[in-house]
Structure 1
Amino acid sequence: MSSGFEVIRAGVQSTVQDIGHSNTAHWGVPQAGAADLLSFALANLLLGNSPEAACIEMTLGCVQLRFLTETDFALTGADCAAQLDEKPLLPYSRQRAQAGQTLKLEAPVRGMRSYLALLGGVDVPQVLGSRSTLLSARLGGIAGRALRAGDVLLAKSKTPNQRLSVAIAAPQWRSQLRVMRGPQWRNLSAEAQRFFQNNHWQVSGQSDRMGVKLLGSMLEMAIPIEMASQAVFAGTIQLPPNGLPILLLADVQTTGGYPIVGQVIQADLWLAGQCRANDKIQFKMVDANEAVLALRAQQTWLSQIQRIVCSSI
């Protein structure tokens, strides 16, 4: 029998996610995929999975699963004080469960999303080249919906023998996100530009996988602008008419008509995916060179972890 688990309690919103769709924007299909791609990558890395292997993304914990067979799994992202049959587990770790054992996740103290990987990845059909769940379109995953109690999910690989448990250090969490100027940045008033960079923004409870709505002082345009829709991506910061920015996430639409004042750099997108209601965040403006150096440093760190983890597999 293939390894896998049965959902006992599904939590607020648990979905199957991978790296998302590619080359579908011209059809109006969002990329989707994991909101925190760094934690997603680390979950697969811990098991030696392909980088594209599908995982379970769990929002605000409160999940309970029962393993069907002997199973290797990995947990990353927000620390939900995970327990395997009431035995505490280290965050960012690879573990082995026996048939019938129960994995329980509490609500996280910090962060928004946790990731559960199974050996070989979660085995659901590909739709448009991805196993990701796009809730707004009812596409992918399990019938395009969030997990429910009673769902059974299987892994693509069986568990091999002689595999050790291992844990890694979590990436450094911080409230400051590095941002590059957007195409309409210069349309902001000088005061709005200063406020955007020098003040904290509070995450609204109305945020979701499409975008993080931010609360604070309204930003004003010094140069009024009417514009046609333009391409938007995860990390794009739009400014709607109410003057309160929206930081777009994984399920963002492919185009938008609001001015774009910034773009979170790729190395910090994972932090955006972990923003939760009432968090305070701050933006730091950087240039393209700094963005590239930050991404290279992150990739180097991932490569170092991969070498260490591979030696234990």
Structure 2
Amino acid sequence: MNGGLVVIRAGVQSTVQDLGRRQAAQWGVPQAGAADPLSLALANLLLGNAPDAAAVEVTLGGAQFRFVAATDFALAGADCAAHLDGKPLLPYSRQRAQAGQLLQLSPPAHGARTYLALLGGIDVPLVLGSRSTLLAAQLGGVAGRALQAGDVLHAKANSTIGLPSLAIVPPSWRPVLRLMRGPQWGNLSTEAQSRLQKQTWQVSHQSDRMGLKLLGDKLQMAIPIEMASQAVFFGTMQLPPSGLPILLLADAQTTGGYPIVGQLIQADLWRAGQYRANDQIQFQIVDADKAVLALRAQQNWLRKIQRIVCSSI
């Protein structure tokens, strides 16, 4: 029997996510997928899964799951002080559960999202090439909605033998997000360009999986501009008429009409997905060469972790 679990308590918001519908923008369908793609990939990597296998994204903890069969599982992302039948578990670890055991995830002290992966990934239907949940369109995952108490999730692989427990060192956290200049960067006043980088921004309570709304001193455009809609992506920074930036996340629309003043580098997308209301953010402008070097360093680190994990399986 393949492993699986039943949702006892779904917490603030829990959804099934993979790495999203990367080819669906041509149809106007948002990418969706994990708000922290690095942590999802790490949870899968710990089990020997493909990096884009579907897992449960738990936002702000407070969730409980009961295993319906003996199951290998892994946790990554925000540390929710996880307990299995009362036994504390390390974050970023691979564990073995027996049928009937209860996994409890408390609200994290830091970070917003925790990823729970099962061996082989979670078995929900593919929709437009992905198993991820797009809540705004009621698409993918479990009936296109957030998980509810009583939902049963099955693993795609049988884990009758069981893997040894294993934990890895979490990726390093820094409160500064690296941003490349966007196509309308030059329309900002010199003062606004400086303020964007020097100011400490606060995450608004109105933030969600679509984007982080930022609070601080308003940014002014030196050159007013009226724009047609243009393509936007996970990590795009838009500047609406309010003068307060919005940093788009995984569920963002595919096009937008606000000026684009920046684009988060790919290596820092995962950090953006871990911010929550009232957290503070600073931005550092970098060029494309530094963005490529940062992504290459992250990919090399992932390959190193993968070699360690493969040697333990």
Shorter-chain TM-score: which interval? over 0.9
- Corresponding position of 1:308: 308
Instruction: Determine helix, strand or coil for the equivalent of 1:122.
Output: coil
Structure 1 residues 48-57 or 138-147, which shifts more? 48-57
Alignment of 1:43-192 (within 5 A): 43-161=43-161, 163-192=163-192
RMSD, aligned CA: 0.6
The whole-number CA distance in structure 2 between the counterparts of 1:279 and 1:60 is: 13
The alignment partner of 2:312 has SS state of coil
SS at match of 1:308: helix
User: Is 2:212 aligned against 1:212?
Assistant: yes
Q: Give the Cα–Cα distance (whole angstroms) in 2 for the partners of residues 302 and 51 of structure 1.
A: 10
1:213-259: per-residue Cα shift (whole Å, max 9, x none)? 00000000000000000000000000000000000000000000000
Runs of 4+ in 1 over 3 A off after TM superposition: none
Deviation, 1:173, is 1.1
1:276-291 equivalences in 2 (<5 Å) = 276-291=276-291
**CA–CA separation in structure 1 for the residues paired with 2:174 and 2:149:** 34
Matched residue, 2:237: 237
Partner SS, residue 108 of structure 1: coil
**Could you tell me how far 1:162 is from its partner in structure 2?**
5.1
Whole-angstrom CA distance in 2 between matches of 1:39 and 1:25: 24
What is the SS of the residue equivalent to 1:66? Answer: strand
Q: Which amino acid aligns with 1:234?
A: F
* 1:44-92 Cα deviation digits (max 9, x unpaired): 0000001221000000000000000110000000000000000000000
Shift of 1:161: 1.7
Shift in Å, 1:22: 2.4
C-alpha distance after superposition, 1:6-53 (max 9, x if no partner): 100000110000010022112110111001000000000000001221
Give the counterpart letter for 2:185 in structure 1: W
Cα distance in 2 for partners of 1:94, 1:53 equals 15
Q: Within 5 Å, give how 1:261-272 maps onto structure 2.
A: 261-272=261-272
- CA–CA distance in 2 between the matches of 1:101 and 1:312? 24
Deviation at 1:148, TM superposition (A): 0.2
Q: Which structure 1 residue ranges, 5 or more long, are not aligned? A: none
Cα-to-partner distance string for 1:133-191 (whole Å, 9 max, x where unaligned): 00000000000000000000000001042521000000111110000000000100111
State the distance in 2 between where 1:162 and 1:32 align.
Answer: 32
Q: How many Å separate the matches in 2 of 1:22 and 1:81?
A: 32
SS of the equivalent of 2:291 reads helix
Letter in 2 for 1:200: T
Instruction: For 1:18 and 1:311, locate their aligned partners in 2 and report how far apart those are by CA, in whole Å.
Output: 25
Letter in 2 for 1:223: I
Q: Which amino acid aligns with 1:12?
A: V
SS at match of 1:303: helix
Can you list the C-alpha shifts for 1:92-123, whole angstroms capped at 9, x where unaligned? 00000001000000000000000000000000
Secondary structure at the aligned position of 1:311 is classed as helix
- C-alpha distance in 2 between matches for 1:176 and 1:52: 26
How many percent of aligned residue pairs carry the same amino acid? 73
Aligned residues: 313
In structure 2, the residue matched to 1:297 is: 297
- Structure 1 Cα separation of the partners of residues 51 and 217 of structure 2: 40
Ranges in structure 2 where 5+ consecutive residues have no aligned partner: none
Q: Distance in 1 between matches of 2:204 and 2:146?
A: 22
Distance 1:163 1:2 in 2: 14
In structure 2, distance between residues paired with 1:147 and 1:25: 25
Q: Which residue of 1 aligns with 2:257?
A: 257
